[in-house]
Structure 1
C-alpha cells in the first residue's frame, strides 16, 4: 500500500531561495537495470552565470514514502561547479578512478558517491542548501524530485528501471510534473527480454549524464516543449530536445528524441505553426503538433532507441524554411513503430525554439 502521509514538516515550512541557490538544479534522474540495479545516478547542473561552491549543499533521499532522510542525513557535496557545467552523483560505493559501474558504462567517473545503491525508482530525491539531517527542516530545500511522504510507485514521477530529464532551468522545492520528461517505469527494459547488453544500449541512447541540453539563457535563445506524446511500444513517450546553440550564426543546432524502437527509421520535421494552437491533433498512433501550414522534412535516419541529427542552418530543405535570428520554429520527430500496430508509426512531442 502506498504511504500517502503528508510531509507536514516540509509543507509547513516557508522555504526561501536566493538566486545563487536556485542556480543549482536537478536535471536528470536515472534508475538503471544492469546487475545490482546500477547505475543509479542524479545529474545536477549550474544554470546560472557564476561559479557555485557545492560544499554549501547536500543531497539526500527519502525512501518508501518516508519523511526522514536515508541514513539520517543528506550527503554534503564538494567542489566548485562552473556556469553551465553538470555534476554527477552516483548511488554506489567509491571504487577509485575507473572502478565504478557508472564508469564502465559512460567512460567517466562520477563527481560524488553516495556509498551504495540506497534508492529505487519510487524514492524521493532532494537537494538542500546546508547540511540536512533528520526530516530536512534544518536546511533549505532547493530542489526536489518526487513528493516527500509519498511512495512513488504508480505516480507521475516514478522512475523505476527508467529515467527522467528536466525540461526547464529553474529549481523548485515542490514537485511539478510539467517541469519533467518522465519516461515511465521500466522504459530501460523495453524490447530487451532481460538482456543486459540491450538494456545498456537503451541506457546510453536515452541518457546523457554531464550534458544538460536545455538552453538556460544567453542571447535571445529560448526553447520549450509543447503538445504531448503518449507511450509507444518502448513503454515510454518520445520527447524531443535540442543541444548545441540556438544562435543562428553558430550553426551548431542538434535535435534529439528519445524512447523510440530500435532498428527503425525516423524523420525530424519543422514548421512555423503549431496544430490547434499547440494542442495538436490525432495522427497515426500519436499526436501531430507541428503543421497547419508548410512543413520542412530533414533526411530520414535510423533509430537506436532514439535519434539525433545536427541541422545545417545554412542549408535548409527549402528557401522558405530558412531559420533566421529572432524567428520561432516548431520541431517534431516522426518514427516507425510496427510493433505497436495500428498505424505503425508515432511521433514525439513538439519543441518550439526562438533563435537569435
Structure 2
C-alpha cells in the first residue's frame, strides 16, 4: 500500500494537542474476508468550517511518516459528530450496521500499522509508533483499538490513552459464513462511544479472553499467551491476579507466579502493557478455566477469561495444511505436486501416510512417489512436523478423481485429508478476451476486461483469469469464475463495482479485486482448466511505452479473431492510445469510448464445434492419438510424412486413432468432418 522511500523526508510535527478540533478515536481490523471491515473513527471536538485542512496517512510495517495520503473534502463538520473512513463499504456496512462516510485505500491497515492524522500538513494525532506493530502492546490485528474518554489528540503516541481488544479478538466473529456483525461478536468494537469529557474516576482497561493454554499431561506448563492491561487515575498499584491453575508474569520468560503488580506514574497512569499467562505444570488431564482479575483501589475490577486443556498422552497424529486441485491435461501426467504436513506424539510404531487410488505420495518433491510413505518416531514417540508431497498419478483417463490421504499408526486415531484432481481433455476455447481497460476515475478505475462467450458454457468454474504485472511473468489463474454463460453474451470482470457501474452504466459480472488491478502496462491471461487459452499483452514485459500500452485508455479485439492461446497477437487488437480517457466521467460521453459489446465473430456454436479440432497428446509417445470435436459425426483422417507421402488414412467414429506404426518425426494430419476440414502438425516421439 505504501510507496517506497528513497529520500529522507523531514516533517514538521505539531507537538501542541490543545486547540485541535478533530481526534482519532478508534480503528478496527475486522474478521470478514480480507480482514474487513478496516475502518477509522474520528470525533469532531469543535465545529470545523473546512475539513480539507485535515488528512490521513497509514504507515505500513514500521515505515516512517511521509505525508498525508487522503485529504478530507472541503466540507464543514459539526461538534459531536463521528466521521468514519473505510477501505471498502459493503463489509463495513454489514458488520457495523451503517455505511462509512468515506472509502479510501489509506485505511487498508493490517493491525500492525500506525494511523496518522494531519492538520495543515503537520501531525496532530497518531495511533501507534513507527515500528512494525506485530507483538507491540498497541497491536490490533484482527481486533480493535479505542480511545479513552477525554484523551487526545496528541502527536506522540500514548498507549495509556487507548483500550485494546488484543490481537485476534475478533477471530470467529465472521460466524464461519461471513455474516457476522459487531453486535454479535464476543469482543464488541465500542463504536460511537467516545466522549471528549475526561473521566477522573480510577479506571482499568483489559484486553480480550485468552484461550488455548494447552499441553499434554506430564509436559506442562503450557506455552504462554498474553492480554493487555492499562489504567488511569489510580492512587495505588494495579494488581493482576491469576485464577487457580494459571500463573502470570510481566515478561514472557517469567518469573511466573500468582499475581503481578504495576506502579502508576505520577499522574496515576499505567500505560498499556502485556500480562503473560500460562496454564501451570503438573495438572491432570482435563479442561481448566477461570478469570484473571485486575484490581486497584477505587477502580471497578476487570476480568479476563482464561482457559486451557491438559490432554492425556495418548498416541495422536496431526495433519496440517491443505492441497489444491491436482490437475493435468490428458497424456501430460502426473500432475504437479502439492504438499501438507504430518506430525505425531506418543507413538508406539511408525507413522504411515497412504494415498488414495489414483494418487501417489513422497517425502521429497522430486520423489520417489508411491502408494505410501512411513516416518519413524524418535525415542519419545514424536514425529516432528514433516512435509508429505502428493500428486495425481500419470496415465489416467479423462475425468475427476478424489479420495482421502490417510495417516495412521498403532493405537492412534486415523487422520485424513481430502485430495482431488482432474485429468482434463483439450480446451474448448469457448471464451475470448475482447477488451482491457484502465479508466479515468478514482484510483484509475474502472479497471477490467471484457470476455466474449463463443458457445454455451454450463459450468464457468472451469474458466478463470490472471494478470501479469509489470512484466513479472505469469501468476497463473488468480480468479475463478462461477455460474454459467450463454453463447453470444459478454462477461465483464472488474477490480471493483462502484466506479465500473458509474462509468459504464451497468455492473460487472465479477468483482475480481486486485486480480484486475491492472495499470495499462499489465498483461492478462484467460484460463480453461488451468491452461492458457487467450492472452493480451506480453506477460514477460512491462508494457510502459510499448505499442500495446493502454494506460488511462483501452485495447479492443478485432472482429473474427481469437482466442490466441498463450501467444499475444498484437495485430488482432486496436488501441485508444495512452491517456485517451483522461478527464472523462462516463463511457457514454467519452470522446474515445471503450467499444464495449461490439466484438463479433462468425464462429457460431455449430461451426465452432465442427471446425475446431484438437489433437492430443501432441507431441505423442503413447501410440494412440485422440481427436476432439464436440460433433459426434465420423471424421476422415489422413496423415502425411514430411515428404508428402500418405502413411495413414482412416475414418474414425470414436475420436481415437492407432498411430503405433509411425516412426518418430513430424507429420501433417488432415481432418475432415462434414463440410469442414483442417490440417494440423503432429509430432511423434
TM-score interval (norm. to shorter): 0.5 to 0.7
Q: Tell me: higher relative CO, structure 1 or 2? Use CA pairs within 8 A at least 6 residues apart.
A: 1
Structure-to-structure mapping, 1:121-140, within 5 angstroms:
121-130=111-120, 139-140=121-122
1:306 maps to which residue? none
Distance 1:228 1:278, change over 3 A: farther
* Distance apart, 1:280 and its partner CA: 3.5
Distance 1:126 1:202, change over 3 A: farther
In 2, Cα distance between the equivalents of 1:204 and 1:59?
A: 30
Whether the aligned pair in 1 keeps the contact of 2:239 and 2:295 (CA below 8 Å) is yes
SS in 2 for 1:170: coil
Task: Give the TM-score of the pair, scaled to structure 1.
Answer: 0.56
2:96 maps to which residue? 106
Task: Give the TM-score of the pair, scaled to structure 2.
Answer: 0.31
Whether the aligned pair in 2 keeps the contact of 1:226 and 1:278 (CA below 8 Å) is no
How many residues matched? 242
Candidates 82, 85, 88, aligned match of 1:86: 82
1:20 maps to which residue? 19
Q: Does 1:162 align with 2:143?
A: yes
SS in 1 for 2:157: coil
1:289 maps to which residue? 295
Structure having the higher strand fraction is 2
Whether the aligned pair in 2 keeps the contact of 1:40 and 1:117 (CA below 8 Å) is yes
2:69 maps to which residue? 74
Structure-to-structure mapping, 1:48-59, within 5 angstroms:
48=46, 50-51=47-48, 53-59=50-56
1:210-246 deviations in Å (ceiling 9; x for gaps) = x133x423xxx734554464653368858899xxxxx
In 1, Cα distance between the equivalents of 2:168 and 2:200?
A: 28
In 1, Cα distance between the equivalents of 2:52 and 2:45?
A: 17
* Distance apart, 1:103 and its partner CA: 1.5
Whether the aligned pair in 1 keeps the contact of 2:239 and 2:294 (CA below 8 Å) is yes
Structure-to-structure mapping, 1:204-243, within 5 angstroms:
206-209=188-191, 211-213=192-194, 215-217=195-197, 222-224=199-201, 226-227=203-204, 229=206, 232-233=209-210, 237=227
1:350 maps to which residue? none
SS in 2 for 1:126: strand
Distance 1:237 1:84, change over 3 A: farther
Candidates 176, 187, 190, aligned match of 2:158: 176
Consecutive aligned runs of 4 or more in structure 1 exceeding 4 Å deviation: 7-10, 190-195, 197-205, 234-241
* Distance apart, 1:39 and its partner CA: 0.7
Candidates 57, 60, 73, aligned match of 1:60: 57
Q: Give the superposed CA RMSD.
A: 3.9
* Distance apart, 1:112 and its partner CA: 1.4
Distance 1:87 1:231, change over 3 A: closer
Distance 1:74 1:237, change over 3 A: same
Distance 1:223 1:196, change over 3 A: farther
2:390 maps to which residue? none
Candidates 31, 34, 37, aligned match of 1:33: 31
* Distance apart, 1:106 and its partner CA: 2.5
Structure-to-structure mapping, 1:309-328, within 5 angstroms:
none
Query: Tell me, which stretches of 5 or more residues in structure 1 are unaligned?
Result: 93-98, 131-138, 242-273, 292-328, 343-356
1:259 maps to which residue? none
